[in-house]
Amino acid sequence: MKCRVCRGKAVIDLPRHNASFCPSCFDSYLMDQVWKAIDEFRMFHKSERILIAVSGGKDSLALWDILNRLGYSTIGFHLDLGIGDYSRESTEKTRKFAVDRNLPLHVESLTQEVGASVDSIADLTNRPPCSACGVSKRHLFNRAAKTMDCHVVATGHNLDDEASRLLGNILHWQDGYLEKQNPALPDEGSLVRKVKPLNRLTEKEMAAYAFLKGIDYVVHECPMSVNAKQLFYKKIMNEIEQESPGTKQAFYFGFLDRRSHFYPEKDESTPSFLCRECQSPSYTEICTFCRIRLKVSLAGRDPDSGARS
């Protein structure tokens, strides 16, 4: 197997591009894909400060590494979810990554912020763990970005994440989610801009990057992610890709090309309230995060308060 660019010994085969690459040409290819995503969606520029949400997994650690290499001003933000050994390992690997590279990292604890760990929150609020976790992450990423004067929040979502999410959203015609499925969501009031610079790169490519760069990351999936549907959609997309390389990107990029046609930009999508508790933009008087927090605190005061109903 020879590298398509330099004819040296290839180490990775990318059927979707009908190409193989040696480590050095793969690195150029990958950096180029990230650069294209940043440029195409005008995600951020060099004068802006980027908060990188770092989970301890391969994608977000690699993203931090890449943006740092590209010369962007970054600060890492890790949320300790309090999920036993999984969270301990995630926090430890994130801290070590930051210390080894002398990068600034801010760590917060979900248990401290909400008053309970993800599994207890799910139990007390009657929500699936991933839903309570997702709401909390979005809220706390945004708050951290504002507190630390960051212009934008970047996450490590990759092409596989986005294509499988698109499949799920289309299968259930989730118009609200489809409208928001964009690798760059602009600022809205006090909601900071959100971007996904890895949206052109697959899971396999990100794992190869992490391996080649010696990035030590958490390999296990979150034990709470019994969000089997998302994993199932990923599996289906991979089976299709196996039979017909290039379909995954054609599906997702095709959607992005047509997105504005199906979902034209609207002004009225900005939430009209400010949450009574935290002053974040909200569609209701109290935002979802604060409702979760209040329910947890009520349940803590009185176990029979009905918080489980």
Residues that bind ligand AMP (CB under 6 A): 53-55, 59-60, 77-79, 81, 137, 155-157, 161
Q: Which residues of 15-38 are buried (b: 16+ CB within 10 A; e: fewer)?
A: ebeebbbbbebbbebbeebbeebb
Give the separation between CA 67 and CA 57, rounded to whole angstroms. Answer: 16
Q: Under rule CB under 6 A, how many of the chain's residues touch ligand FES? A: 8
3 state SS of 192: coil
Beta strand 105-109 with 281-282 is unpaired
Residue 156 found at the interface with ligand FES (CB under 6 A): no
CB of 307 to ligand FES, least distance (A): 19
Give the distance from CA 208 to its chain's centroid. Answer: 19
- Going by C-alpha positions, the residue among 82, 75, 124, 93 that lies closest to residue 309 is 124
Q: Which of residues 73-102 bind ligand FES (CB under 6 A)?
A: 81
Residue 215 found at the interface with Zn ion (CB under 5 A): no
- Going by C-alpha positions, the residue among 137, 142, 148, 140 that lies closest to residue 49 is 148
CB of 147 to Zn ion, least distance (A): 15
Residue 82 touches which of ligand AMP, ligand FES, Zn ion, none (CB < 5 to 8 A by kind)? none
Give the separation between CA 12 and CA 16, rounded to whole angstroms. Answer: 12
x/- track of binding to ligand FES for residues 257-296 (CB under 6 A): ----------------------------------------
CB of 113 to Zn ion, least distance (A): 12
Dig out the tokens for 251 from the structure: 């599906």
Which range, of 16-24, 110-118, 235-243, 285-293, touches Zn ion by CB under 5 A?
Answer: 285-293
Residue (118 or 150) nearer to ligand FES, CB: 118
CB of 294 to ligand FES, least distance (A): 20
CB of 294 to ligand AMP, least distance (A): 22
Q: What are phi and psi of 174, to 5 degrees?
A: -85, 80
Residue 54 found at the interface with ligand FES (CB under 6 A): no
Query: Which residue, chain included where needed, has tokens 């017909």?
Result: 244
Residue 225 found at the interface with ligand FES (CB under 6 A): yes
Give the separation between CA 60 and CA 157, rounded to whole angstroms. Answer: 8
Q: What is the DSSP letter of 16?
A: G
**No. of helices (H) and no. of strands (E), the chain:** 12, 10
| Contact with ligand FES (CB under 6 A) among 66, 98, 105, 224 | 224
Residue 156 touches which of Zn ion, ligand AMP, ligand FES, none (CB < 5 to 8 A by kind)? ligand AMP
Q: Which residues contact 96 (CB under 8 A, 6 or more apart)?
A: 216
| Contact with Zn ion (CB under 5 A) among 290, 292, 296, 307 | 290
List contacts with ligand FES (CB under 6 A). Answer: 81, 118, 129-130, 133, 222, 224-225
